[in-house]
Amino acid sequence: MTDISRTTRTVSEEELAEQRAYTAKIAGWNEAFLAENGRERRYYIQTFGCQQNEADSERLAGMAEAMGYVPVDTAADADLILINTCAVREHAEERALSITGQFKHLKERNPELIIGICGCMVSQETRKERIKHSYPYVSILFGTSMLYRLPQILYAYIAGRKRQFFLDAGDPGCIAEGIPVRRADARKAWVSIMYGCNNFCSYCIVPYVRGRERSRRLHAILEEIRGLIANGYREITLLGQNVNSWGHDLDEGVEFPDLLAAICALEGDFRVHFMTSHPKDASHRLIDVMAENEKAAKHFHLPMQSGSNRVLAAMNRRYTAESYLNILAYMRQRMPDITVTSDIIVGFPGESEEDFEKTLEAVRIARCDQLFTFIYSPRTGTPAARMEQLPEKVKQDRMARLLAVQNEIMLEKNLACVGKEYMILVEGLSRGDRTMYAGRTDGGKLVHFPADPDQSLTGRVIPVRITAAETYNLWGEAVL
């Protein structure tokens, strides 16, 4: 087993105490502001990207509130704006920069406004240099491994009124426990169990911006989840760039199936999901643990990316289409009603028509309940960006053909749900129709059913019988 001291730096109690001291100083500054102005200082966080970024933003929010800030819904009302960025796709980066540009007039109107950018995007040399020179009204800039140091970064800016750049250069990443968290949802919680990635898929920037894999200790994860259960959380999602490889860098002799089993053994009424998994690490043992534990949600998100072995090799995915389909077959043998979702990339460099036809065939065999589909876009700094690119028209055409195949599969699978009962975690009234509740099955399928005006069901888990189905939605009635 790898020695964690050589791969993962754990933030010491002394360092955390230092951050708490900075937190207290800023809280005092904000208390004085309240006494003088009759209002509290306010913060606003704009988040781009994946669930890991959302979880990071919950910690940013927790630290902001510990420092005496209160949340607001619009940037125009804020005294502190934090933009948590994504680097997976260039479109997300450009959106983040565009929105940052829109905040310039807020800074001109309120020179005391503090604007900060953090997250994956600023870990790229070209992006951080652009922000430094083209966005002078951005006060603080910090990378993903510096998130826990927000109080120190903010205090340094407040004390000296000089722009602060706390970037990840030369830092292999770390694990910081005990960071305050402000959960965005009262019933569903993200729990990051690891950070970074060792896979280096040829199209992906994540290992370069989030660093190598770093696992949290078993006891720390269980302690956080016990607290969530005690506070009434019903759905807990474990997060990691590759959750299946959790524990490989620890000296505890535990792996992800052990963690999942330990969580399922905790007392309480909850269910646990996890994402994202890598097929090369999706073991029969993990599937067995899922099958044997009622609290493990019968949902597996397993990215396929392509059905062509040649393309998978070029992607550096380290599995074949056949091995992927074998994993799915074993899942369905052990859990016949499991919901399977996946990712597909269309138009990877060098993808031939024959390669794409193999992807369509694999999709037809896999019969996933949902696909998250992406047209390949090059990310500077990755090997695939240097490969010969396909014409945009070819990529668009293939995407349309893929969606046609998958939509037919999704409708068939949803129609097969009609007449069955599912336990639904009720998320609240539907956004599109306030006379309907919206909730999700154990496998994440969206279900709408009539709302009873005399009974609040939000946050409860109730049986719902499915009465109708569409490609993307199920409709039903509560069985109470």
pLDDT in the model for residue 1: 32
Q: Which residue has the tokens 């044997």?
A: 292
Task: Evaluate whether 223 touches 193 at the Cβ level (below 8 Å).
Answer: no
Strand ranges, E, within 159-212: 164-166, 174-175, 188-192, 194-195
Tokens coding 269: 């009424």
Crossing angle (nearest 10°) for helices 13-37 and 51-66: 60
Element (H, E) at 43: strand 42-47
Enter the pTM of the model: 0.92
Question: How do 164-166 and 140-142 pair as beta strands?
Answer: parallel
**CA-CA-CA-CA torsion for 224, 229, 235, 237, nearest 10 degrees?**
10
- Topology (CATH level 3) of domain 421-478: OB fold (Dihydrolipoamide Acetyltransferase, E2P) (2.40.50)
What are the backbone angles phi and psi of residue 370, rounded to the nearest 5°?
-160, 145
Task: Indicate the length of the chain as a whole number.
Answer: 480
Q: Cα separation of 229 and 181, whole Å? A: 15
Whose CA is closest to 56, among 139, 123, 120?
Answer: 120
**Residuewise pLDDT in 10s, the chain (480 residues):** 333 334 567 899 999 999 999 999 999 999 999 999 999 999 999 999 889 999 999 999 999 999 999 999 999 999 999 999 988 877 788 888 999 999 999 999 999 999 999 988 887 777 878 888 899 999 999 988 899 999 999 999 999 989 999 876 545 578 999 999 999 998 999 999 999 999 999 999 988 888 889 999 999 999 999 999 999 999 999 999 999 999 998 888 999 999 999 999 999 999 999 999 999 999 999 999 999 999 999 999 999 999 999 999 999 999 999 999 999 999 999 999 999 999 999 999 999 999 999 999 999 999 999 999 999 999 888 999 999 999 999 999 999 999 999 999 999 999 999 999 999 999 999 888 888 999 999 888 999 999 887 778 888 899 999 999 999 999 999 998
What are the backbone angles phi and psi of residue 148, rounded to the nearest 5°?
-65, -15
The terminus-to-terminus CA distance of the chain in angstroms comes to 51
Q: What is the 3-state secondary structure (H, E, C) of 49-107?
A: CCHHHHHHHHHHHHHHHHCCCEECCCHHHCCEEEEEECCCCHHHHHHHHHHHHHCHHHH
Bridge partners (DSSP) of residue 215 are 194
Judge if 185-288 and 298-416 fold alike in CATH terms.
yes
**CA-CA-CA-CA torsion for 201, 206, 209, 210, nearest 10 degrees?**
-120
Q: Please, what CATH class does the domain formed by 4-174 belong to?
A: alpha beta
Domain boundaries, the chain: 4-174, 185-288, 298-416, 421-478
Task: Evaluate whether 212 touches 402 at the Cβ level (below 8 Å).
Answer: no
- Topology (CATH level 3) of domain 298-416: Transcription Regulator spoIIAA (3.30.750)
pLDDT in the model for residue 5: 39
pLDDT in the model for residue 168: 64
Task: Evaluate whether 217 touches 252 at the Cβ level (below 8 Å).
Answer: yes
Strand ranges, E, within 174-312: 174-175, 188-192, 194-195, 214-215, 235-239, 271-275, 299-301
CATH of domain 185-288: 3.30.750.210
Q: List alpha helices for 242-348, DSSP H.
A: 256-264, 284-292, 309-314, 321-334
